[in-house]
Every structure is written in structure tokens, then in C-alpha cells.
Copies of this chain bind each other. A is one copy, B any other.
Amino acid sequence: MSDERYFSVVEPRPDAAVALRPVTQGRVRGGFWGARQRVNREVTIPLGGERVGGSGAFDNLRLAGRGAGGGHEHRGKVFADSDVYKWLEALAWERGRAGGDDLARSYEEASELVAAAQCDDGYLHTHTQLTGRARYSDLASSHELYCAGHLMQAAVAGRRATGDDTLLRVAARFADHLVKDLPPDALDGHPEVELGLAELYRETGVRSYLDLAARMVATRGRSLIQLKGHHGPGYRQDAVPVREATTVEGHAVRAMYLAAGATDVAAETPDPELLAALERQWRDMVATKTYLTGGLGSNWYGEAFGGHLELAPDTAYCETCAAIGSVQWSWRMLLATGAAEYADLMERTLHNAVLPGVSLGGDRFFYVNALRVRAGADPDDLRSPARGRQDWYGTACCPPNVMRLLSSLDHYLATQDTDGVQLHLYAPGTIRAGSVLLEVETDYPWSGRIEIVVRETPDRAWTLSARIPAWADTAEVSLAGAALSSGVGAAGSSGAGAAGVGDRPVEPGYHRIRRTWRPGDRVVLDLGIRPRLTAAVPRLDVARGQVAVERGPLVYCLEQADHPGAVIDDLCVAGADLRDGAPITGLPAEVVPVLARGRVHVHGEDDGGFPYRSAAPREPEHAGPADLTFVPYYAWANRGPGAMTVWAPMHEE
């Protein structure tokens, strides 16, 4: 193991105020996420290079690199540079994760293009350079600093993962320029540079980068950004200072990037008051603005969070990028606080809001991840899920964002502190934390059995903490085959006492085992994964009378492909006796469907007229039973477009 590089996507400085720190190295080997990473490497990232190139983003850099000034054509969106940077970040993490000379040439060529395009004073934004628009004259829309932030993240990835400093030099020069020349109140309409500056500080130790990020976080929320269109200042997170905000609002991706960057600032400066404000905002987001999938953003208009509990399933936006931003924010909150709730949301979001953004084959994408798509949904917009997955998008933020997340997923598995190691996400592979080496064996999330084998350990007591997800209603932990503890929450019956741990229930949160470990020690965690029904709280009006199916961390859905001839919205769940089904043709063999007894609504009254009638009789009639097949939501629309729903009416017999 000694020849492997150690790095992580977020690396707090030694003096940062964090409860947990990244492990030396997490490594996924195979299993659920390993399969996604293999496709990401073999299909998605190479395709990303082609598509980013086809959009003209490399040409923009080439033209700028030749010193072209104003009056030139810039291809693609004003933020086209950021597609290149996110793709480069994915390449960097991927090279660090699994090596690969095949990726090196692409990385180096693109990095050189970026370096050559940079202005002498460090500035870099091809749209501004080529069109000749004055720098920072339209920050509400120009995405100049947004692109800078992605450059910085890619640069840090390059340095950490491969030791390649090409981009880091570019990013540092740009950051130096910003520190020196950016007007004091300048804020980008799209947050992101805060994240980049904070990580560049972490990598370089140049404090002025952190100070600039902190200044931006402190300046925001005072309506200093120019308003455009109908949007108020909340759209750009400029209505309420971060320190005073009690919720998240506006454009969901912007909100997540800002919150993640602010969390970095809170950790590094340190600033406990700012952290407390972010905790408050995170909790409000989870309680009032998060879909069951972890998806964020109720409104196509402004790609935005709606208001409190505005969570309609069909008109949901749930942009893939917002989910990725949510993972980034929650990870930073987890590091700062050590609270399991952040890891719970990360797990939910990764499986059900990020992963749906890319097809199983890795070559088609979703921008919008609605929880219901009817036959008859409006497919007019390219982003409409009713159109099915698309090869690429004119605004191509999501695909390379998925690439960089999947290639850095290993970094999110576990953390360490002075007392031990904490496992947050379960995947087969290894966790190296200083002198501790753990090996994880599991078929999670299909199975709830997770074996954690201690391969290397110091000769002293330390604590192994394993997350018991909030969704787990039973859990058992045993050590070397003897039950350590079992049950969750109120169930709470303890298992047989086992070596090193007294009798106590296994409860959601972290199950902690402190002992002097020996190589070969084996902790077996059984989360008892089985299908379950979930309902929304009564205030969530749009899900009233309806249930969803979940299994472990996965949210399921009813998909048209499994119910030929049926109208998906006419199917209801007739009872709670769910069971695992056999593999489904057209989906990978490991995907476990969930079967349920159902009923089909008969629309005796539904003659195609005005869809509102006298409230009596209110109960729909039923036809004979229907067999319902639920598939994981992330896997939907891999058998062509069609109707789909996460929520289904519940009618017990």
C-alpha cells in the first residue's frame, strides 16, 4: 500500500475547527459504486472530452491562448470554461484513483490549453477575453468567478491526485490577481469561487485566498448584486447575509455551492457563529425543501428552491448539479460537526438524486430529476424527463459534475479523528487512516450485511464507528461472529454480549466500538435491508394519501416499462407486504426490484371531462388486483422514456 498516493477532495488545514478529518485514503473496489466508477472512467469521462470539445470550449481556450482580444466569437455559454475545468477535475481524481496513462495525455493537453489562455496578470475567462466585455462589469451573469472557482478545484485535484502543478500555477496566479485587483464588493451571481479559494488556501497555505473567500461570504446578502429579469435578490443568495439566514433560497445549485464554501470558511477561519447559521439552514432545508430522493429545487423557474414544503413531484426540478452541491455541503458539515445526519443525507442524495443523473451505460444524462413523469408530460424542453435521457445539454453543467463526483467518491467513505475511524458510506474496498487499514466487504445496498476487517492496527485502543442509517429499523452488530448488539431505537433488544463491548442497542447514528484491535478482527454489521413503505408528514399536501417504496438507501419507483398497458397513475399500493423480486430483463442482474400487491383505479367518473367532481363518493372504485414492480429510482429511464412515479396512492384492502 505504501506506493499509493494519499489525498482527498477536501483537506482541512491542521488548525481548522473540524470534528472529523479525511482518512488518508478511502478506496472503492468493485460493488455498487465500483461499477459506476468503472463506467464513469471507461465511458463517461472520454465521452465528456468529446462533448466538451464539440461545444467549442477548447476552441475558446485556443483562441484566447493566441491572444485574441475583443470582438471574437465565443462558442457556447458564458460559463463554457467551467465545463472544461470540471472535466479536468474528474480526470485528475480518476488518475489518482486508478492511474492510467490513457487519461494523462487528455489531462495534460487540456491543462496546457488552459495555461496558455491565461492573461499576463492572471485573469482567465474566455468569454470576457474573446468578446472584449470589461472584466467584472456584469458579474450578476458573467460567471467569471464561478469559472475561476472550478479552475481552482480542478487545480487542487491535479496537484493532490497526480502531483501535476500545471493548473495549480494557473489557479494561484488567478487567485493572486483576484486578491489584488477584484473590487471590494464584487460578488459573482453564481457562487462557487468561495469553495475554490478555500481549497486553494488549504493546498497552498496562502491565507489571503481564505480571506477573500471569507470576505465574499460576509459581503453576500446585502443586495449588492445587480438584479436581472424578474428574479429578486434571493435568486442569487443576495437577500439575506449567510450569517443571518435561516433557510436556503433561490437557485439551488448556487445555494449549495455558497453554503459549502461558507462551511469551509467557518471551519478554517474558524467561525463557530457562521457554522451555527449553516447548521440552521441545513436543518431547514432538510425539513422543508428536500424531496424524498434528496433532490433539491421545486421550481424550473430560476432552477430554484420553492417555498416551505413546495415539493410537487411532477414539476420538481431536482437538478443533478444541486444534488452534487448538496453532497459537497453535507460532507463539509460532517467534517465540521461529526453528526450522522449529514452522512444520512449524503447517502440518500448520492443514491437517489446524483446517480439518476447518468444512465447505467454512462452515456446519457438527466438534468432534471422529477419524482413523477406522466404519459402526457410536456416534453417541449430538452431538460424535460419526459423526453428521456439526453446525450448532452446546451448548458452542460451536470454531466461533468457527475464525472468529478464519481471519480472522487472514494474520498467520502470514511473519516478519522484522534479517537479512531468513522465509516459513513458502505462500499467494498479499503480505508487507510494512518496506521489503521480496514477492509470492507459488502454487497451494499442490495444487501445490508457489511463486514469490516481490521487489516492493520496500532497496538492501542481506538474506536471504530460505523454509521447506522436513520432509515434502518433493525440493525445487528457482531464481532468475530459473536453478537455485540442488536435492535434499533425503541426495539432496542440487545444481542448477546460480545468481546469488548457491553450490551446496548444499535441505534441510528454511529455505533461505536472501542477496543484494542488485532489484525483479522472482523465487525459484521447487518442493517437488515428489506423493502419498506414511506409516507410524508401530513403538511406535505402533494403526497397526501400516497406512499413511496424504499429499500435500504434506495428510493424506488413505478416505471412504465414494467407495467405495459397500465396507466402508472392509476396504480395503487394495496398493502404493506412488499418483497424482493427476481432480476429484470434490461436492468443489470444485481438490481433487486420490489414487488407489491396493488390495485388499479377504475375511473368510473373520469369521462375525460373537468377533473373536479362532487366530493361524494370520494373513494375510487377498484378493479381486480395488479402486480406492482418497483425499481430503484436511479435506474429508471434506462429502458427508454416513459411514465414513472415515486409516490403511489395507498389503498389497504
Query: A interface vs B, CB < 8 Å?
Result: 230-235, 239, 247, 249-250, 283, 286-288, 290, 292, 298-302, 304-310, 312-315, 372, 374-383, 386, 394-395, 470, 473, 532-542, 544-548, 567, 569-570, 576, 601, 603, 605-606, 608-616, 618, 620, 645, 647, 649-650
**Chain B positions within 8 Å of A250 at CB level:** 380
In the complex, the chain B residue whose C-beta lies closest to that of A534 is B612
CB distance from A250 to the nearest CB of B (A): 6
Q: Which residues of B contact A616 (CB under 8 A)?
A: 533, 576
Across the A-B interface, the 8 shortest Cβ-Cβ residue pairs: A308-B376, A300-B301, A234-B380, A312-B312, A307-B377, A533-B615, A545-B545, A232-B380
CB <8 Å contact, B309 and A374: yes
In angstroms, Cα B473 to Cα A128, docked, is: 66
A350 to chain B, nearest CB (A): 16
CB distance from A386 to the nearest CB of B (A): 6
Contacting A376 at CB < 8 Å: which of B230, B309, B537, B610? B309
Chain B positions within 8 Å of A647 at CB level: 541
Tell me the nearest residue of chain B to A608, going by C-beta: B287
Say how far A226's CB is from chain B's closest CB, in angstroms. Answer: 15
- Determine if B383 and A539 form an interchain contact, defined as CB atoms under 8 angstroms apart: no
Q: Which residue of B lies closest to A305 (CB)?
A: B378
Report the separation of the CA atoms of residues A349 and B393 in the bound assembly, to the nearest whole angstrom: 38
B374 touches A232 (CB 8 A): no
User: Is the pair B539, A611 in contact by a Cβ cutoff of 8 Å?
Assistant: yes
- Determine whether the beta carbon of A310 is less than 8 Å from that of B305: no
Contact in complex: A614, B286 (CB < 8 Å): no
**A614, B300: Cβ atoms closer than 8 Å:** no
Evaluate contact between A614 and B378: CB separation under 8 angstroms: no
Q: Smallest Cβ distance from A167 to chain B, in angstroms?
A: 31
Give 13 pairs: A residue, B residue, CB < 8 Å, sorted on A: A231-B381, A235-B380, A301-B301, A305-B378, A306-B377, A313-B541, A470-B610, A537-B611, A538-B603, A539-B611, A541-B645, A541-B649, A544-B546
- Give the distance in Å from the alpha carbon of A288 to the alpha carbon of B376 in the complex: 9
Contacts of A292 in B (CB 8 A): 612
Which single member of B239, B288, B313, B315 contacts A298 (CB below 8 Å)?
Answer: B315
Flag if B609 contacts A286 (CB, 8 Å). yes
Query: Once the chains bind, are B570 and A539 in contact (CB under 8 Å)?
Result: yes
Residues of B within 8 A of A235 (CB): 380-381
CB–CB A381/B541 < 8 A: no
- Mostly helix, strand, loop or mixed at chain A's interface? loop
Q: Are A382 and B232 in contact (CB under 8 A)?
A: yes
State whether B538 touches A649 (Cβ < 8 A). yes
**CB-nearest residue of chain B to A533:** B615
Instruction: Check if B376 sits within 8 Å of A615, measured CB to CB.
Output: no
B residues in contact with A533, CB < 8 Å: 614-616
A300 contacts which of B299, B375, B534, B605 (Cβ < 8 Å)? B299
The residue from B374, B544, B567 contacting A307, defined by CB atoms under 8 A apart = B374
Provide the residues of chain B in CB contact with A239, threshold 8 Å: 380
A315 lies within 8 A of B308 (CB) = no
Inter-chain CA distance A365–B377, complex, in Å, is 31
Cβ contact within 8 Å between B381 and A232: yes
**Which B residues are CB-close (under 8 A) to A304?**
378
The smallest C-beta distance from A128 to any residue of chain B, in angstroms, reads 22
> Min CB distance, A298 to chain B, in Å?
6
Residues of B contacting A570 in the complex (Cβ-Cβ under 8 angstroms): 538-539
Chain B proximity of A359: nearest CB distance (Å): 21
Chain B residues lying within 8 Å of A611, measured Cβ to Cβ, are: 287-288, 290, 309, 536-537, 539-540
- Contact between chains at A548 and B314 (CB < 8 Å): no
Residue numbers in B under 8 Å from A395 (CB-CB) = 230
User: Closest CB-CB distance, A535 to chain B, in whole Å?
Assistant: 4
Please give the distance in Å from A653's CB to the nearest CB on chain B.
15
- In the complex, the answer to whether B230 meets A381 with C-beta atoms within 8 Å is yes
Docked Cα-Cα span, A377 to B377, in Å, equals 26
Q: Which residues of B contact A313 (CB under 8 A)?
A: 541-542
A375 to chain B: closest residue by CB: B308
| Nearest-Cβ distance from residue A545 to partner chain B, whole angstroms | 4
Q: Are B308 and A618 in contact (CB under 8 A)?
A: no
Q: Are A569's CB and B378's CB within 8 A?
A: no
Beta-carbon contact of B547 and A544 below 8 Å: no
Task: Kindly provide the distance from the CB of A597 to the nearest chain B CB, expressed in whole angstroms.
Answer: 14
With A239-B380, A299-B301, A381-B230 already in contact, the answer to whether A569 and B283 are too (CB < 8 A) is no
User: Is A535 a contact partner of B603 (Cβ separation < 8 A)?
Assistant: no
Report chain B residues within 8 Å CB of A532: 614-615
Chain B residues in 8 Å Cβ range of A534:
612-615
Partner of A378, one of B307, B538, B576: B307
Q: Whole-angstrom distance between the alpha carbons of A125 and B46 in the complex?
A: 51
How far does the alpha carbon of A58 sit from the alpha carbon of B620 in the complex, in Å? 57
Q: Which B residue's beta carbon lies closest to that of A547?
A: B615
Closest B residue to A540 by beta carbon equals B611
17 new A-B contacts, CB < 8 A, other than A300-B300, A533-B614, are: A230-B394, A231-B381, A232-B382, A247-B376, A286-B609, A298-B315, A302-B381, A304-B378, A306-B377, A309-B376, A473-B614, A532-B614, A535-B614, A535-B615, A538-B601, A539-B570, A548-B612
